[in-house]
Structure 1
Amino acid sequence: MGLRYYNKRFIAIDLDFVPFVSEVIANDLSHKAFNLIRKNIEANGVSDIVKYSSADAVVFMMEHRYYDKRFTAIDLDPYGSASSFLDSAVQALCDNGLLMVTCTDMAVLCGNTPEACYAKYNSIGLRHKCCHEFAIRVLLKTIDSCANLHGKYIEPLLSVSVDFYVRIFARIRIGAKVAKDSATKVAYVLACTGCHSLDIQPIVRKMINNGSIKYNPSVFHSNLLADQNKCLHCSHPVHIAGPIYSAPMHDTDFVQNLIKRLEQTPVDQRFQTHNRLFGILNVISEELIDVPLYYEHDQLMHIVKTAVPRLLDIRSAIINAGYRCSISHCNPRALKTDAPTTLLWDVARALAKKNNVTLDRFDENSPGRKILESSIKLRKIVTHTIDFKVHPNALAKSKIDGLLRFQDNKGKNWGPKQKAKSKQNNVQSD
C-alpha cells in the first residue's frame, strides 16, 4: 500500500513528495469548504491523487479503521478542540502512521476552565507560567490514552506551542505490551498558589527483577508539601492538576533531521517563514527533553521583590551548582531545569540579599516574606552555594547565532478568525 493521507480540513501538498503518495483525501463537513477544496485540487492539477469528501470526520475515519483501509497519515485541524476526533483517528492509522493534531482552544488547555478541560481531555489544566507546555502535555496524554484503548501507543516526534495553538506530530505504534508503559509516562502536577513552585508526581512505576516486569502505583513523596499539606516554601495552599504526559514530547533525531533539511534547502525554494522555522526548531533542539514544565525567572524574582537579573546570571548559578537548564520554545522567559526548587529559592534569596530587600516590603503572610524568613532548621534541607559567575554553557547557542527564536511582533489581524457559521452541523445527541 502506498502512502495514504487524510486531511480533515484542507490540503497542503509538497509536489516533490507526490511520487511517494498513492492517495490523499481532503474532507470537510462544510459545503463551502468542500467547494473550495475541489477548486484547489483542480487548480493544482492533482485530481488523480487527491480525492475530496464532505462527510462527518469521525464517521469517515471509523470507516477506515479496518486493516486494509487504514491511512499512513492523518492531519486534524479543526476549529477549537480536536478531542472528539482523536479516538477515531488513532484507529484509522496503520502501524507507524503519522498523526498531526492542531488545537486552538488554548483558554481551555491553559487552565481557565478546568471543568471544560476535564470534559474534553480528561485532565485538569493549570494556570501557571508554564501553561503552554502544560497544554501540549495534556493533549499528548489524551492522544496516548485513546491509542492505549486499542493496543497502541504514541511516539511524539515534535510538539509545538506557538501563536494561538498547539501542534502535535506523533507516530502511532501498535503493540499492546509496549502500550502498558504509557502508565509510567503520566503524572499529576502539584502547584503552589503562592510562590508557584511545581512538583511532578508520577502515578505508576515499572519494576524489572530478573526479567520479570511488574507495574506498581508510585509511592507518594512530595518535595513541595509541608505540614497541613501547605507549601514547604511559603505555607500557601497547593493545587493539583493533570494528569499530563511526562515523557519527552520531542524526538531529538527527528528535530535534528528537520533542521538539517532546512539548512540544505536552496534559498530560492525556501518558505517566507524559513527563518522562523529554523529558529524555533533550534530552540526546541536545545530544550531539556527529560524535564517537564518550566518557570519564568522574572516571576521567581517578583515573589521576593528583587530586581530581575539577566537570565544568563540565573542559568549560570544553576549550572555552577551542578544542574542543567535550558530555555523553552513556549516562552522567551522560560527557565527549564532539573534543579530542585530549593536551589531556585536559594538563588532568589541570594539576589534579594544582594539588592538589600527587607521584610518590611511584604505583607505578613505573603509568599516572599515566608521564603526570605525560612531558615535551614525550619526547612530541614541542605542549602546550596550560589555562584553567579557566568558559565560558558549558560547562553543558548541559538541566541549566540542570532536566530529568530520567537515572534515578537504578531502584527495586525493576527490570530484565528471567527469560527465559520454553517447551517450544517455535526450530529448532536440529547
Structure 2
Amino acid sequence: MKTRTVIEGNTRVEVPLSEDSSGISSPSTVFYNPEMELNRDITVAATLAYALTISDEKGIPLSEIKYIDALSASGIRGLRVANETGINTTLNDWSNEAYEFILKNIEMNDLAERVIATRKNANVALHENKYHIVDLDPFGTPAPFLNAASSSTISFLEVTATDTAPLCGAHLKSGIRKYSSVPLNNEYHSEMGIRVLIGKIVREFASNDKAIYPVLSHATRHYLRIYAEVRRGAKRADRMMENMGFIENCQHCGFREPLYGLAVHSQYECPSCKSPMSIAGPLWLGSLHSRVFCNGVLEQIDALQLGKKDAAKKIITLCREELDIPMFYDQHVMCKQIGISAPGMDSLINKLLEKGFNASRTHFSGTSFKTNAPVNDIKQIMRSLD
C-alpha cells in the first residue's frame, strides 16, 4: 500500500495515499480525512481543557488520566491527544491493517511509553476497561457504541456523528431506527441533529445510572460533535431526563415551541397562523454549551500549535455566546416568508435587544440567530428594518 506522511499540530503520522485530489483515504483500508483537521484541533484543545479540570479537582497527574480513541483508524486523533496533551492514551481499532498503522505511528512519534494500542471490537474494548475520557469518532453513526461507552466512561465523553442525513431528517426512517427519534428536515435541521444525538446519548447513559452534561456541541460542515461531562447517580440521570422532550413546529409561519417530557400533548393548530403543526422528538432541550468550558477551550487553542487555530476560535467563540434556547431561526427563510430583503444581521440582533428581547448569532450558519422573541415580533422588527 502506498502511504504518505501527514503533519497536524506537532504530530506526524503515516496514512494511506488517497487515490484522488481530496486527500481522503478509502474507508475500506485505513480511513483518513484531511477535512477533519479542524475537528481534531478542537478535540485536542477540549480534551486538554477537561483533563486539566480533572487534574485540578481530583489531583490526578495528566499522565495518569486515561483516554481512549475507540475507533482509531490511522490513530491520528488519539496520537495527537497523547502527543499534545500528555495524557495516557489507548488507541483501538478492529482492523489489522489499521492496527499496523497505529503501531507504526506510535513509534514515529516516540510515544511507546504513553500510548497503548489494541485491536478489538470497539464495544469489547470499552466494556473491558474504564476510561476518564472516551472518544467515539466512527465512520457514520456512533449509535452502536453508545451503550458500551456509557459503561466505560468515568468523567468525559466526546462523540462525532457523520450520518447527518438520518439525524437531521433527510433520511427519516434511518434516523428513527438509529436514534429512536423523529427529526424534522427544516431550516434548523443542524441543531435538530445535535439535539437528537444528545437525546440518544442521554437515554443510553441514563440506563446505566449516569447523567451527561453537554459542555460544547457544534455542527460543522458534514459532521456533528458533542462534548459532555459524565457523572454517576440515578437521581442525576433522572434530572437530566427532565431536559428531554419534543419541538412543536409550524412549517408555515415558523412558530416553534419546546414541549418537555416523553409523553406530551401536542396542539394540532398553530397558535400564530392556525396552520397544522409538526412535532419532532424525543430530543434534548437543555443546554448545548458551557461558557466556562468554552473559555477553557479557547485558552488551550491559543496555547497549542494548531493548523486551524482561527477557524477553531471562531466556532468556540460563537458557541460560547450563543443564546441557550432551542431552536435557531434562519434570517433568509423568515424574510422570504414575509417578502422582504434580509436586513444586516447585526442590525437585527441589535434591534431585538433594543426591544427588550434576548438575541444572539449562532455557530450553525451566518444567517442563523436565536431569540426569545415571539415569531410575530421578529417579523415585525424585520419589516421595520426593511
- TM-score computed with the length of structure 1 as normaliser: 0.70
Choose which of 203, 209, 213 in structure 2 pairs with 1:155.
213
- Give the length in aligned residue pairs: 318
Match of 2:115 in 1: 50
How far apart are 1:138 and its partner, in Å?
1.0
| Contact 1:99–1:172, Cα closer than 8 Å, also in 2 | yes
Q: Deviations over 1:71-114 (max 9, x none)?
A: 111111111100110010010122xx111110000111111122
Q: Write the mapping of 1:199-348 to structure 2, written as runs, cut at 5 A.
A: 199-203=257-261, 220=265, 225=267, 229-263=268-302, 265=303, 270-289=305-324, 291-348=325-382
Larger radius of gyration: 1
How far apart are 1:279 and its partner, in Å?
1.4
How far apart are 1:250 and its partner, in Å?
0.9
Q: Write the mapping of 1:57-136 to structure 2, written as runs, cut at 5 A.
A: 57-64=122-129, 70-94=130-154, 97-136=155-194
Match of 2:254 in 1: 196
Structure 1: state its 5+ residue gaps: 65-69, 205-216, 355-430
Q: Distance in 2 between matches of 1:277 and 1:14?
A: 20
Letter in 2 for 1:275: D
| Contact 2:202–2:241, Cα closer than 8 Å, also in 1 | no
How far apart are 1:193 and its partner, in Å?
2.2
User: Residue 61 and residue 270 in structure 1: after superposition, are their counterparts in 2 closer, same or farther (change >3 A)?
Assistant: closer
| Contact 1:128–1:196, Cα closer than 8 Å, also in 2 | no
Letter in 2 for 1:56: N
Q: Percent identity?
A: 26
| Contact 1:117–1:123, Cα closer than 8 Å, also in 2 | yes
Q: Distance in 1 between matches of 2:92 and 2:301?
A: 29
Q: Deviations over 1:24-73 (max 9, x none)?
A: 22111222211111111111111222121221111221222xxxxx1111
SS at the partner of 2:274? coil
Q: Deviations over 1:376-409 (max 9, x none)?
A: xxxxxxxxxxxxxxxxxxxxxxxxxxxxxxxxxx
Match of 1:405 in 2: none
User: Residue 101 and residue 16 in structure 1: after superposition, are their counterparts in 2 closer, same or farther (change >3 A)?
Assistant: closer
- TM-score computed with the length of structure 2 as normaliser: 0.78
SS at the partner of 1:312? helix
User: Residue 13 and residue 307 in structure 1: after superposition, are their counterparts in 2 closer, same or farther (change >3 A)?
Assistant: closer
How far apart are 1:161 and its partner, in Å?
0.8
Q: Distance in 1 between matches of 2:85 and 2:330?
A: 41
Match of 2:93 in 1: 28
Structure with the higher helix share, 1 or 2:
2
Give the alignment's Cα RMSD to 1 decimal. Answer: 1.9
User: Residue 17 and residue 349 in structure 1: after superposition, are their counterparts in 2 closer, same or farther (change >3 A)?
Assistant: closer
